[in-house]
Structure 1
Amino acid sequence: MWVRYLEARRDAPARRRYILYERALKALPVSYKLWHAYLRERQLAVRGLAVEDPAVSSLNNTYERALVSMHKMPRIWIEYLEFVLDQGWITRTRRTFDRALQSLPITQHHRIWQLYLKFLMRPGTPSETAVRVYKRYLRLEPTHAEEYIAYLKAQGLWGEAARKMAELVNDDTFRSLEGKSKHQLWLELCDIITKHPKDVLGLKVDAVLRSGIRKFTDEVGRLWTSLADYYIRQGMYESARDVYEEGLTTVTTVRDFSLIFDTLTQFEETLLQHKMEQGGDEEEPEPAMNGAEDDDGADFLLKDDTNDIDLRLARLEHLMERRPELLSSVMLRQNPHNTHEWHKRVKLFAGNPHKQILTYTEAVTTVDVNKAIGKLHTLWTGFARFYERHGDLENARVIFDKATQVEFKYVDDLATVWCEWAEMELRHKNFKRALDLMRRATYTPDIVNRRAAAEAEREGPVQGRLYRSLKLWAFYCDLEESLGTLESTRAVYDRILDLRIATPQIILNYALFLQEHKYWEESFRVYERGVALFKYPHVRDIWLAYLQQFVQRYAGSKLERARDLFKQALAQAPPEESKALFLQYAALEESHGLARSAMEVYDKAVKTVPQADRLAVYDLYLARAHEFFGLGKVREIYETAIEASPPYGVSDDDCKRMCLRYSQLERKLGEVDRARAILVHASSLADPRRDLLFWKEWNDFEVKHGNEDTFREMLRIKRSVAASFSQIHYNTTIVEAATTAAPGEEGGKRKRGEDEMAALEAEVTGTRLPGFVSGGTVQPDQRTQEGTPADAPAAPGASAPVVENPEDIDLDEGDAEEEEADAGADIQLETKPVPEAVYGAGGEQLGALDRFKKRRTDGQ
Structure 2
Amino acid sequence: MDIDRFVSTEEDLAYEYELQTQSKNFLTWSRYLEYKKSRDDPVALAWLYERCTNEFPNSVDLWLEYLKWRTDLIHTLNAVFYVDEFTKCNALFERALGWCYDNDRIWIMYLKFAEQQRDLGMIRSILNRSLRCVSLEKHPRIWESIISFIEDDLLQNANFLEDNELESLMHDALFGKEEKRSNSPDLWSSHMLARYLEITDSVEHTLYLLGLTGDEEAVRRLYERYLFPDTFSTVNYKQHDFYLRYINALGQVGTEEEFQEGVEKTIIKFPHLSSSLMVELAKNFIMRSKIPLARSTLDNALKATTKTRDFSVIYDFYLKFLEVLLETIVQEIRANPDIQPAWEQDLTYNFNLLEHLTNTHELLLNDLKVRQDCNNVSTWVARANLFPSVKEKCEVYVNAILAIDPGEVHEASVLGQLWCNYAKLFIEAKDYESARETFDRALRVPFKYKEDLEVIWLCWAEMELEIEGFEGATKLLEKALKIPKHPELLIEKYDKGGKDFPAQAVIFTSLKLWAMYLDVMEASCESSDQVSKTREAYNNMIGLKLATPLIFINYAHFLQAQNMWDESFQIYERAIAAFPPQTKYELWNIYLGECSEQNLSTERLRDLFEQALELAKHGIDCSSFFLLYSNLEKSNGLYKRSVDILYRGCKETNALQSKVLLWRSCLDASKNFLGDEDSRPFYEECIKTLPNSKVIMFVIDFAKVEERLQAYERSRAILKFGAQLLHPDQNKILWDFWNEFEVRHGSKSTYKDMLKFKRHVGDNFKVDTEQVTSKEGNVAFIASSDVGGTHSAPESSQVTNPEEISLDL
State the TM-score, normalized to the length of structure 2: 0.68
Measured after TM superposition, the shift of residue 695 of structure 1 is: 1.1
Residue 719 (1) aligns with residue 759 (2): yes
**Is the 2:306–2:371 contact (alpha carbons within 8 Å) kept by the matching residues of 1?**
yes
Does structure 1 residue 472 correspond to structure 2 residue 513?
yes
CA–CA distance in structure 2, aligned partners of residues 722 and 396 of structure 1: 85
Residues 298-321 of structure 1 show CA distances to partners (whole Å, capped at 9, x for unaligned) of xxxxx9744554433332222211
Equivalents in 2 of 1:567, 1:474: separation in Å? 33
Summarize deviations over 1:29-77 as a string: whole Å, max 9, x none.
Answer: xxxxxxx99xxxxxxxxxx99xxxxxx9xx9xxx9xxxxxxxxx9999x
Unpaired segments of 5 or more residues in structure 1?
1-9, 11-35, 38-47, 50-55, 64-72, 287-302, 732-770, 773-860
Give 1:261's match in structure 2, choosing from 275, 300, 315. Answer: 315
Aligned to 1:224: 278
Contact 1:337–1:371 (CA<8 Å) still a contact in 2?
Answer: yes
State the match for 1:576 in structure 2. 620
1:563 aligned to which of 606, 609, 613: 606
Q: Structure 1's 227 and 625: CA in aligned 2 closer, same or farther, altered over 3 A?
A: same
- Tell me the residue number matched to 1:344: 382
Cα 1:143–1:201 change in 2 (3 A) is farther
AA aligned opposite 1:188: R
Structure 1 residues 448-457 or 262-271, which shifts more?
A: 448-457
Contact 2:375 2:408 in 1 (8 A): no
CA distance in 1, matches of 2:358, 2:121: 61
What is the TM-score normalised by the length of structure 1?
0.65
> Following superposition of structure 1 onto structure 2, how do residues 299-378 of structure 1 map, counting pairs within 5 Å?
305-306=343-344, 308-349=346-387, 351-364=388-401, 365-366=403-404, 368-372=406-410, 375-378=414-417
Match for residue 422 of structure 1 among 461, 468, 477: 461
Residue 236 of structure 2 corresponds to residue 182 of structure 1: no
Cα displacement (A) at 1:508: 0.7
Q: Which has the larger helix fraction?
A: 2
Task: Tell me if structure 1 keeps the 8 A contact 2:647–2:662.
Answer: no
For structure 2, the residue ranges without an aligned partner over 5 or more in a row are: 1-23, 25-56, 59-82, 85-90, 155-184, 772-789, 792-809
Structure 1 segment 14-29 matched on structure 2, within 5 A:
none
Report the CA distance shift for 1:169/1:383 in structure 2 as closer, same or farther (over 3 A).
farther
Q: Distance in 2 between matches of 1:614 and 1:119?
A: 93
Partner residue in 2 for 1:641: 683
1:535 paired with 2:580, answer yes
Counterpart of 1:524 in structure 2 is 569
Cα displacement (A) at 1:385: 2.0
Residue pairs, 1:651-690, within 5 angstroms: 651-667=691-707, 672-690=712-730
Question: How big is each residue's C-alpha offset from its partner over 1:366-390, in whole Å with a ceiling of 9 and x where there is no partner?
Answer: 2654453573322222222233223
* Shift in Å, 1:727: 5.3
Q: Could you tell me which of 747, 757, 762 is aligned with 1:707? A: 747
Change (3 A) 1:182 1:563: same
Compared with structure 1, are the counterparts of its residues 439 and 457 closer, same or farther at alpha carbon in structure 2 (3 Å cutoff)? farther
Structure 2 CA distance for aligned equivalents of residues 254 and 544 of structure 1: 58
Aligned to 1:798: none
Alpha-carbon offset, residue 130 of structure 1: 9.4
Greater radius of gyration (CA): 1
Q: Check whether the contact 1:228–1:241 (CA below 8 A) recurs between aligned residues.
A: yes
Q: 1:638 to 1:279 in 2, by over 3 A?
A: farther
Counterpart residue type for residue 483 of structure 1 = S
Which position in structure 1 is the counterpart of 2:431? 392
**Secondary structure at the counterpart of residue 440 of structure 1:** helix
**One-letter identity of the residue aligned with 1:419:** L
Per the alignment, residue 461 of structure 1 pairs with 502
Q: Separation in 2 of the partners of 1:729 and 1:533?
A: 44
Q: 1:486 aligns with which of 528, 531, 555?
A: 531
The 2-side partners of 1:589 and 1:730 are apart by: 35
SS of residue paired to 2:446 = coil
Residues 103 and 134 of structure 2 are in contact (CA less than 8 Å); yes or no, is this contact kept in structure 1? Answer: no
Structure 2 residue matching 1:160: 3-state secondary structure: helix
Q: CA deviation at 1:568?
A: 1.5
Structure 1 counterpart of 2:258: 204
CA contact (8 A) 1:228 1:240 kept: yes
C-alpha change, 1:285 and 1:166, in structure 2 (3 Å) is farther
Deviation of 1:524 after TM superposition, in Å, equals 1.6
1:257 to partner: Cα distance: 3.2
C-alpha deviation, 1:482, in angstroms: 1.8
Give 1:553's match in structure 2, choosing from 579, 598, 615: 598
Candidates 220, 236, 242, aligned match of 2:290: 236
Distance 1:713 1:317, change over 3 A: same
Distance 1:106 1:509 in 2: 101
Q: Secondary structure at the match of 2:583?
A: coil
Deviations 1:475-511 (A, max 9, x none): 2221221235101111111111111222111111111
Separation (CA, whole Å) in 2 of partners of 1:640 and 1:89: 115
Q: 2:640 aligns with which of 590, 596, 600?
A: 596
Percent of pairs identical after alignment?
27
- Secondary structure of 1:532's match? helix
1:119, 1:555 → 2: CA distance? 110
Within the candidate set 222, 235, 238, 1:164 is matched to: 222
Distance 1:334 1:430 in 2: 44
Match of 1:759 in 2: none
Deviation, structure 1 residue 172: 2.3
The answer (yes or no) to whether the contact 1:281–1:305 under 8 Å persists in 2 is no
1:464–1:148 Cα change, 3 Å? closer
Contact 1:507 1:527 in 2 (8 A): yes
Deviation track 1:209-231 (CA, whole Å, cap 9, x = no partner) reads: 35444554555443333332222
Equivalent in the alignment of 1:587: 631
Alpha carbons of 1:711 and 1:327: their partners in 2 closer, same or farther (altered >3 Å)? same
User: Relative to structure 1, is the Cα distance of residues 679 and 728 closer, same or farther in structure 2, using a 3 angstrom cutoff?
Assistant: closer
Change (3 A) 1:555 1:596: farther
- State the AA in 1 paired with 2:384: V
Residue type at the aligned position of 2:327: Q
CA 717–323 in structure 1, closer or farther in 2 if over 3 Å, else same: same
Whether the 8 Å CA contact 2:667–2:683 is kept in 1: the answer is no
| C-alpha contact 1:687 1:725 (8 A) present in aligned 2 | yes
3-state SS in 1 of match to 2:598 = helix
Cα distance between partner residues in 1 of 2:360 and 2:268: 26
Give the direction of change, closer, same or farther, for the CA distance of 1:373–1:662 in structure 2 (3 Å limit).
same
Deviations 1:703-745 (A, max 9, x none): 23322011012113212322341355999xxxxxxxxxxxxxx
Q: How much does 1:330 deviate?
A: 2.9
Change (3 A) 1:635 1:472: farther
Report how far residue 533 of structure 1 moved.
0.9
Counterpart AA for 2:356: H
Moved more, 113-122 or 485-494: 113-122
Q: Using the TM superposition, name which of 482-491 and 442-451 deviates more.
A: 442-451
